[in-house]
């Protein structure tokens, strides 16, 4: 089996959810990892548990994102892969009922945060002569709409456009791609449902979704081995979703048991 060189990887939003799952998976493969999170408590917990560089950083503030890059380079010498994973969702509600603060937060974290991370990472990678940037897709990236999640979907649709455009801008040696984890059982997936709505939604989630511990290793391996310009790594394709629905009557899955 071909040996993969040790990489230095930065994961924003890496102290919880799929981001933390990716961090653990990269470490298990022998790579060096730096992460940031917006919550001091979860960042402290990650730092105490794992051999990582962990920082509290607000991705909507480019200066804080730059500090993350600088700290990673100071400790590890360079950054090989940067993953813009930080993201938030909002209450499930039509736009006209959605509090302005929630709408603004989603756009700022999901889009402005990725813009900041992309700008900082690509500038550093161009200067060092190489590196790969991954942006994390989500609901809406493929144009699919879900009532009540219009702002979140719009932010992810814009992120996909941004990434494809960046892939045409970067010089040789630097590359950009998209990671699509599919449905992952985290707070981001289940937020905003009433108890009754969530019970109905779980029927679909149990068919299409996977737990973090299933998705993260799969995604981490491909984030390393498929890091080339214009790459699009998708965990759940339309064909794959169709197969899962076809098999659902014969394969019972329960992802929400304790």
- Is position 81 within any domain? yes
- Secondary structure of residue 74 in the 3-state scheme: helix
At residue 258 the predicted structure's pLDDT band, cuts being 50, 70 and 90, is low
| Beta carbons within 10 angstroms of residue 66's beta carbon | 18
**Rounded CA gap, 207 and 79, in Å?**
37
Nearest alpha-carbon partner for 181 in 212, 140, 155: 212
> How high is the pLDDT of residue 2?
60
- Is position 157 within any domain? yes
pTM, 2 dp: 0.94
Q: Reply yes or no on whether 152 is catalytic.
A: yes
Token digits for 171? 């010089």
Q: Which residue of the set 115, 152, 159, 235 is catalytic? A: 152
**Which positions ≥6 away from 108 have C-beta within 8 Å?**
60
Nearest alpha-carbon partner for 134 in 199, 93, 80: 80
* Domain range for 55: 8-184+210-236
CB 26 within 8 A of CB 33: yes
> How high is the pLDDT of residue 1?
45
- Is position 84 within any domain? yes
- Is position 256 within any domain? no
Give the domain CATH number at 99. 3.40.50.720
Round the average pLDDT of the chain to a whole number and report it. Answer: 94
- Is position 139 within any domain? yes
- Is position 250 within any domain? no
Each residue's pLDDT tens digit, 30-47 = 999 999 999 999 999 999
Domain count, the chain: 1
User: What is the mean predicted confidence (pLDDT) over 200-220?
Assistant: 92
CB 180 within 8 A of CB 160: no
CB 189 within 8 A of CB 183: yes
């Amino acid at each position: 089996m071909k040996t993969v060189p040790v990489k230095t990887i930065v994961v924003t939003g890496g102290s919880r959810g799929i981001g933390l799952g990716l961090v653990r998976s990269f470490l298990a493969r022998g790579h060096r990892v730096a992460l940031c999170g917006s919550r001091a408590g979860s960042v402290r917990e990650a730092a105490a548990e794992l051999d990582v560089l962990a920082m509290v950083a607000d991705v909507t503030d480019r200066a804080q994102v730059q500090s993350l890059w600088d700290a990673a380079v100071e400790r590890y010498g360079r950054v090989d892969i940067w993953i813009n994973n930080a993201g938030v969702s909002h209450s499930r509600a039509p736009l006209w009922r959605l509090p302005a603060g929630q709408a603004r937060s989603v756009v700022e974290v999901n889009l402005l945060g990725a813009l900041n991370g992309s700008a900082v990472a690509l500038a550093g990678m161009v200067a060092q002569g190489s590196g790969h940037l991954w942006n994390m897709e989500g609901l809406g990236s493929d144009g699919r709409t879900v009532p009540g999640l219009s702002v979140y979907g719009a932010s992810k649709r814009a992120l996909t456009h941004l990434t494809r455009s960046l892939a045409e801008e970067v010089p040789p040696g630097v590359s950009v791609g998209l990671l699509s984890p599919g449905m992952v059982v985290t707070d981001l997936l289940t937020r905003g449902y009433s108890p009754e709505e969530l019970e109905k939604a779980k029927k679909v989630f149990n068919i299409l979704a996977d737990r973090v511990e299933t998705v993260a290793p799969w995604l981490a391996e491909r984030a390393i081995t498929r890091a080339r310009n214009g790459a699009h790594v998708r965990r759940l394709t339309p064909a794959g979703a169709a197969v899962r629905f076809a098999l659902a009557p014969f394969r019972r899955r329960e992802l929400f048991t304790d």
